[in-house]
């Protein structure tokens, strides 16, 4: 057994005898990117692409400063700090091979709750050209019911009252941009890497709502000095498990407190709108396009929605990982019918994309048995995911009088899921900012199924659509009366008979 080596800068030369490590001189890098939200996805995606790029020794301007924004992020901050920003990326190939490497692109880390001013200064630094975000779908403070920025959020009120010590991304960005303006510095790009349709547009619209109230005189400056490119991001990155940490120790003798595991597939399609310059990410596989909207729509409505379908149904069947759910023939038929009959007609023209292959590859990616993506992870924060991943499909299908039966079934399954226990008596772990209201409405739905649709912040005006309500209620009753397995078989057979 090899000696176990702790991952940090000092031990890098030794570790590089075991797995690939950065060969560039990290101490020579300037911080050109500030990234907010240093969870697994960022580390498997943007930080990975950037690490690849930095292997070109001529590139010195694009080190990343990772910001841990929330109290909740203490652990990742302490871990990365102790490891000098280094971590291991473990790619789980389809045949089970582990491809490991140490990623070195995160060269600094800051913990916002400890020192907000330092974070604001870093975001305003003249070297920083891009601020990228993975703050989750719910982090944009958008209310589906009002279609507006949610000023009732107490954290937003806090930021309005204490601009010097913000807690939300909106408070931080506003203060940093204000400093840039006051110091007559160049503007920068704010780039969302979250799963939201038009994520750049959404970032701009939400930030501008906040700025118009907090610092109205800053709005015009932002309009001319800040760009917000839209982007589609993709790489399945499950939560790291204790087993992954052990496996790395056993197979390579590396003691990394928080490695990241992910699938081999990766995709990043970005609009080329970077007001202060950008890294040449295209040299390491990113695609720059004029209009990313169709790609985003395809990915959100097929991959992310597909995940939610497998997660919610899988939980009701008693599975705990996504590969188990897609391995069930009835669930995978359900997903194929949903993607083919309900999502595909809403996607419009996707020039240059072979949709059939894309859908096929998704089933294969979901089925990667080595990834073991947790159903708990997929179902977490569904109240923020459903409006983005599934609602647009339902709304478009209702407008065009297309089929919505499978989509309505998913929402009914979600109502039943939100009770917190499945029909086999297994407790479901519900991690959701709206957990309480979900649970209350789920319980009320036992006598009045439509109650669940009254959560306007998730479903908007869906409760007023009689076609949808009828399909939803039918699915709800079918699941309750016949059990999830029979109900899924039934709804699939209706379609198969039709064809």
Residue 432 lies near ligand CS2 (rule: CB under 6 A): no
Alpha-carbon span 483 to 477, nearest angstrom: 9
In contact, 43 and 96? CB cutoff 8 Å? no
Residue 385 lies near ligand CS2 (rule: CB under 6 A): yes
Q: Which two tokens stand for residue 189?
A: 């790009």
One of 88, 107, 240, 304 touching ligand CS2 (CB under 6 A)? 304
| Nearest-approach distance from CB 267 to ligand CS2, in angstroms | 8
Q: Tell me which stretch binds ligand CS2 (CB under 6 A): 93-101, 141-149, 163-171, 231-239.
A: 231-239
Count the residues of the shown chain that bind ligand CS2, applying the rule CB under 6 A.
8
Q: Tell me which stretch binds ligand CS2 (CB under 6 A): 6-14, 15-23, 230-238, 434-442.
A: 230-238
Residue 301 lies near ligand CS2 (rule: CB under 6 A): no
| Nearest-approach distance from CB 234 to ligand CS2, in angstroms | 4
Footprint of ligand CS2 on residues 189-218 (CB under 6 A)?
195
One of 46, 73, 159, 234 touching ligand CS2 (CB under 6 A)? 234
Q: What DSSP state is assigned to residue 3? A: P
Residue 378 lies near ligand CS2 (rule: CB under 6 A): yes
Alpha-carbon span 28 to 93, nearest angstrom: 33
One of 43, 178, 278, 307 touching ligand CS2 (CB under 6 A)? 307
Helix (H, G, I), strand (E, B) or coil at 17: coil
Alpha-carbon span 222 to 22, nearest angstrom: 36
For residue 390, count other CB atoms closer than 10 A to its CB: 25
Q: Which two tokens stand for residue 62?
A: 């694009």
In contact, 67 and 11? CB cutoff 8 Å? no
One of 42, 92, 204, 235 touching ligand CS2 (CB under 6 A)? 235
Q: Tell me which stretch binds ligand CS2 (CB under 6 A): 13-21, 81-89, 229-237, 478-486.
A: 229-237
Taking CA atoms, 271 is separated from 99, 177, 189, 199, 275, in Å, by: 30, 22, 12, 11, 12
Stated as kind and residue range, the H or E segment containing 5 is: strand 5-6
Long-range contacts at 322-328 (CB < 8 A, ≥ 24 apart) = 322/366, 322/371, 322/373, 322/374, 322/375, 322/378, 323/366, 323/367, 323/368, 323/369, 323/371, 323/372, 323/373, 325/366, 325/375, 326/363, 326/366, 326/367, 327/367, 327/369
| Nearest-approach distance from CB 356 to ligand CS2, in angstroms | 20
| Nearest-approach distance from CB 449 to ligand CS2, in angstroms | 25
| Nearest-approach distance from CB 193 to ligand CS2, in angstroms | 10
Residue 84 lies near ligand CS2 (rule: CB under 6 A): no
| Nearest-approach distance from CB 95 to ligand CS2, in angstroms | 21
CB closer to ligand CS2, 180 vs 385: 385
The residues of the shown chain that bind ligand CS2, judged by CB under 6 A, are 195, 234-236, 304, 307, 378, 385
């Amino acid at each position: 057994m090899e000696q176990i080596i702790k991952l940090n800068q000092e031990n890098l030369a030794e570790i590089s005898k075991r797995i690939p490590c950065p060969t560039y001189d990290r101490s020579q890098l300037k911080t050109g990117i500030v990234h907010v939200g240093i969870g697994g996805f960022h580390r498997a995606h943007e930080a990975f692409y950037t690490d690849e790029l930095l292997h070109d020794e001529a590139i010195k301007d694009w080190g990343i400063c990772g910001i841990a924004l929330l109290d909740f992020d203490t652990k990742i901050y302490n871990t990365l700090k102790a490891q000098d920003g280094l971590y291991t990326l473990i790619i789980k190939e389809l045949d089970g091979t582990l491809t490991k490497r140490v990623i070195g692109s995160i060269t600094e880390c800051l913990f916002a709750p400890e020192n907000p001013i330092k974070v604001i200064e870093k975001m305003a630094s003249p070297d920083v050209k891009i601020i990228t975000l993975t703050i989750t779908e719910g982090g944009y403070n958008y209310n589906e019911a009002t279609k507006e920025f949610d000023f009732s959020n107490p954290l937003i009120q806090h930021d309005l009252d204490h601009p010097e010590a913000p807690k939300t991304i909106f408070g931080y960005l506003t203060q940093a941009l204000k400093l840039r303006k006051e110091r007559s510095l160049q503007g920068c790009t704010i780039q969302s890497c979250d799963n939201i349709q038009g994520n750049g547009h959404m970032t701009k619209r939400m930030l501008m709502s906040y700025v118009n109230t907090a610092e109205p005189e800053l709005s015009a400056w932002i309009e001319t000095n800040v760009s917000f490119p839209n982007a589609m991001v993709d790489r399945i990155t499950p939560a790291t498990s204790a087993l992954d940490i052990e496996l790395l120790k056993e197979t390579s003798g590396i003691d990394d407190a928080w490695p990241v595991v992910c699938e081999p597939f990766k995709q990043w399609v970005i609009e080329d709108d970077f007001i202060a310059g950008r890294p040449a990410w295209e040299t390491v596989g990113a695609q720059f396009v004029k209009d990313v909207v169709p790609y985003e729509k395809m990915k959100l409505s097929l991959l992310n929605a597909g995940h939610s379908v497998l997660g919610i149904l899988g939980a009701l069947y008693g599975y705990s990982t996504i590969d188990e759910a897609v391995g069930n023939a009835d669930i995978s038929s359900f997903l194929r019918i949903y993607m083919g009959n309900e999502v595909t007609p809403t996607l419009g023209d996707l020039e240059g994309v072979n949709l059939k292959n894309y859908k096929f590859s998704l089933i294969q990616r979901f089925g990667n048995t080595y990834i073991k993506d947790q159903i708990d992870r997929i179902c977490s924060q569904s109240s923020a995911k459903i409006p983005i991943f599934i609602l647009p499909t339902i709304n478009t299908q209702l407008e065009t009088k297309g089929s919505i039966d499978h989509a309505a079934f998913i929402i009914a399954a979600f109502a039943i899921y939100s009770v917190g226990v499945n029909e086999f008596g297994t407790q479901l772990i519900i991690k959701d900012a709206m957990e309480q209201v979900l649970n209350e409405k789920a319980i009320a739905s036992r006598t009045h199924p439509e109650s669940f649709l009254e959560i306007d912040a998730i479903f908007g005006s869906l409760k007023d659509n009689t076609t949808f309500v009828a399909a939803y209620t039918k699915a709800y009753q079918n699941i309750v009366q016949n059990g999830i397995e029979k109900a899924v078989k039934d709804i699939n057979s209706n379609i198969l008979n039709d064809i």
